[in-house]
Amino acid sequence: MSMYNDKVIDAFMNPKNVGAMENPDGVGEVGNPRCGDVMKIYLRVRDERIEDIRFETFGCAAAIATSSTATEMVKGRTIEEALKLTNRDVAEALGGLPPEKIHCSLLAEEGIHAAVEDYRRRKEGLPPLPPRHEAVCHHDLADGEETHGG
């Protein structure tokens, strides 16, 4: 039996917003220090609103499912609204993740934050944000905090 619930499996099998984007307004590349997996988020921003968002994830099923869901949750939202999305929100939207997979959901949150930072840097004429492979979100969930995963 799968360790994942049906929502997670569906998001993994039919991910949305996958792939690179040409001429994005912001790009965030982050790594998961726990497993070495990597994700990239691409943003297209119009009037401070996320008009389009894409992701590429080199990670596990939970990373792909949470990336897909996170991109769906922030598409059409303002930058400020997108920054409020947490990995906990994404895990909840998916009906929970197995405790040992909670850390995978940080990739999407961190990726969105990095892409927004990159977008803001570009607007100010600063060089692109370098890839971040060590950063861990300040509100990482402890293993075992989410217990209703499939």
* Subset of 10-49 contacting ligand FES (CB under 6 A): 32, 35, 37
| The one segment of 58-66, 67-75, 81-89, 114-122 that binds ligand FES by CB under 6 A | 58-66
Q: Would you say 144 and 97 are in contact if contact means Cβ atoms under 8 Å apart?
A: no
Identify residue 89 by its one-letter amino acid code.
Answer: D
Our finding on whether 66 is near ligand FES (CB under 6 A) is: no
Q: How far is CA 135 from CA 22, 31, 83, 107, 125, in A?
A: 26, 8, 16, 10, 24
Near ligand FES by CB under 6 A: residue from 9, 18, 60, 93: 60
104 catalytic, yes or no? yes
Cα distance between the two ends of the chain? 9
Judged by CB under 6 A, the stretch of 8-16, 59-67, 90-98, 118-126 that binds ligand FES is 59-67
Which CB, 30 or 116, lies closer to ligand FES?
30
Q: Which residues are catalytic?
A: 35, 104
Binding residues (CB under 6 A) for ligand FES: these are 32, 35, 37, 59-60, 62-63, 104, 107
